[in-house]
Amino acid sequence: MKWISTAILLIVVAVAASVAGYWWGTGRSTQSSAARPEQAKSQAARKILYYRNPMGLPDTSPVPKKDSMGMDYTPVYEGEEPTSDGSVVKISVEKVQKLGVRTEAAAPRELIRTVRAVSTVQADERRLHTVAPRFEGWIERLYVNTTGQAVTKGDALMDVYSPELITAQQEYLIALQGVQAVAGGSPEVRAGMQRLVESALQRLRNWDISEAELLQLQKEGKARQYITLRSAVSGVVLEKPSIQGKRFMSGEVLYQIADLSSVWVLADVFEQDLGMVHQGQPAAVRVDAYPDKVFNGKITFIYPTVTPETRTAKVRVELSNVQALLKPAMYARVEFASSHNKGKVLAVPDSAVLDSGTRQLVLVELGAGRFEPRVVKLGMRGDGYIEVLDGLKAGEVVVVSANFLIDAESNLKAALGGFSQGAQSAKPVTHRGEASIEAVDPARATVTLAHAPIASLKWPAMSMDFRVKDPALLRTLKPNQKIVFEFVESGSGEYLIVRVQPAAGGHGAH
C-alpha cells in the first residue's frame, strides 16, 4: 500500500507542476504580446534613414543587407545620424573662454571703402594761354616783366615794333581813304573798296591785334610805329621768356598765362584700387600748407594708361581755387569714399577670414562648443568688414578673434590643430580581444583570426582578416596559435592590430 500512496503523491505533484507551468507560460506570453505592440509602435514611430556596416566600415545601404561574413547591417534611425562630419571640431566652454574667442553674426551692411592716394596740384590745361605773335618783330617795352605777376584780360603786356605791322596798317588806311574817294561812285565800286577795308582789317585781327588798338588806328588815321600787345585772358604769368629789346620770330612764345581760379589735382591711384573710383565721385583733398582745411572736389577723368614703374594710374580731380591757396606742383593727399553699388550686402569682420592662399575660410559657431570651417567667396572690403558672396547666410555666427590666430601666417590646418584636440588630434580607441590564428599573409601584412566576442565593439565571435600596423608583428605568428591582440580603427574605417602577445597556455609571440 505504501508504494501506491507514493505513486499517487508523485502524480499530484506532476499535475500541479504542469498547471503552474501552463499558468506561468500563459502570463509570459500575455506580457510579451502586450509589450510587442508597444515595441513595434516605438520602432514604427522612428524612420530608418539607412543601414550601416556592422563592423564600422564606411559603407551604408538604403535597404537591409548582410556583409561578407553574413552579419546584418545595423539600422540607423532618424535622430541617431551623426550630427556633423569630421571637419567639425568641438572644444569645451572653458577653453573657449580661455582662448578669448569672440564671435559675430554675419549681417547685411553698407560697406564704404576709403581709397587714399598721393597727388600733385597742376594748372587746368584748358585755362592755359600763350602769347605767341604771328609776325616777326622786336620788343620795345615790357609792361609785364616778372614771372608770377597777375594780369587781367585786356592788360598791356608789351609794345612791339614790326615792319609787317606797319605795312598792314598802311594798307588798311589806304583802303579807308579809297572808300571815301569813291563815295559818289557806283555801288559796285563802293562795295569793292569796302571789301578791301575789311580784308586789311581782318589781317590785323588775325595777328591778334586787339580791338582797342584798331579803334585807335581808325581814330588817328595814321600808322603807329609801336603796337601794344594785350592779354586775352586773366591769370598768372607762369613763364616769361620775353626781354626788352629782344627780337622774336613768328610763333615764338613770349608769355604763358594760366587761370588758377580752378585747378587740377592728379592723384596716383594703385592698380588694385581702380575699380573703386569712377567719374563724378566726390574727393577730399588735403595739403600740408593748410592742415586745417579740406578742399572738396570730384573726379572728372580717369586716365586710360597705367605707369609701369609704379603700377598706378592718374585720376583727375577738379577743385575750385578762388582764394588762390593751391599752387601748381603742390603735394596733396586725396581720399575717395567708395560705397557698394548694391546697397547693403552680407558682410563679416575681415578678421574672421582665414586665407590659406588658395581659398578663404571662416569658422562658423554651431553651438555647444562646436565650430565648422566653411569655405567662402569674398567680395568688396571696407570699414573693417568684407562682403561674403557665397558660403554663409545672414545670422550665422563666425569666430572673429582668438589669441591663437594672431600669427598672420597661420592657415586653416594650423588653426584647427591649435584650436582643438578633438577628432583630428584625439588618440584612437584601443580594443582588446582573444583569438586563434587561422592564417598569416606576410605579403599583404594581414592575419586571419577566429576571435572571441569583443565587448567594446559588441562583436560576436567570428573569423575575420586584420591588417597589422607593423609587418614585423607577423614574423613569429603561426596558425593555431592562441593570442591576445590589441587593435584600433584607422581613419578609413579599417582595423589595425597594434600589439600581440601570447594567450595563457599559447605559443610565444610578440
Domain containing residue 337: CATH number? 2.40.30.170
| Within a domain: 507 | no
Q: Are residues 61 and 38 in the same domain?
A: no
- Count structural domains, the chain: 5
Q: Are residues 338 and 282 in the same domain?
A: yes
pLDDT of the residue at 55: 59
Q: Are residues 415 and 451 in the same domain?
A: no
Q: Are residues 98 and 73 in the same domain?
A: no
Distance of CA 384 to the CA centre of its chain: 12
| Within a domain: 36 | yes
- Residue given cell 579599417 in the structure block: 494
Q: Are residues 304 and 350 in the same domain?
A: yes
Q: In what order do the strands lie in the sheet with 60-61?
A: 60-61, 48-52, 74-77
* Among candidate residues 236, 255, 274, the one where a domain is terminated: 255
- By three-state DSSP, how is residue 435 classified? strand
* Domain that includes residue 486, residue range: 430-502
How far is it, in rounded angstroms, from Cα 428 to Cα 374?
A: 26
- In tens, the pLDDT along 295-346 reads 999 999 999 999 999 999 999 999 999 998 999 999 999 999 876 666 788 8
Q: Are residues 167 and 135 in the same domain?
A: yes
Q: Are residues 131 and 119 in the same domain?
A: no
Portion of the chain with pLDDT greater than 70, in percent:
76
Q: Are residues 104 and 138 in the same domain?
A: no
- Residue given cell 545670422 in the structure block: 395
Q: Are residues 157 and 97 in the same domain?
A: no
Average pLDDT, the chain: 79
pLDDT of the residue at 112: 79
Q: Are residues 277 and 179 in the same domain?
A: no
Q: In 157-187, which positions are buried (b, 16+ CB within 10 angstroms) versus exposed (e)? A: bbbbbbeebbebbebbbebbebeeeeeeeee
DSSP secondary-structure letter at 301?
E
CB 145 within 8 A of CB 241: no
Q: What is the pTM of this model?
A: 0.52
| Within a domain: 16 | yes
Residue 188: φ, ψ to 5°:
-65, -40
How far is it, in rounded angstroms, from Cα 459 to Cα 54?
A: 8
- In 10 A of CB 502, how many CB atoms? 15
| Within a domain: 509 | no
pLDDT exceeds cutoff 80 at 46: no
Instruction: List, in sequence order, every residue forming a beta bridge with 401; answer none if it has no partner.
Output: 102
The gap between the terminal CA atoms of the chain, to the nearest Å, is: 74
Q: Are residues 412 and 304 in the same domain?
A: yes
CB 360 within 8 A of CB 376: yes
| Within a domain: 82 | no
* Among candidate residues 374, 408, 423, the one where a domain is terminated: 423
| Within a domain: 105 | yes
| Within a domain: 508 | no
Strands (DSSP E) along 169-254, which ranges?
226-230, 235-239, 247-248
Most confident of 311-315, 385-389, 413-417: 311-315
Q: Are residues 229 and 360 in the same domain?
A: no
pLDDT of the residue at 89: 63
| Within a domain: 112 | yes
pLDDT exceeds cutoff 80 at 19: no
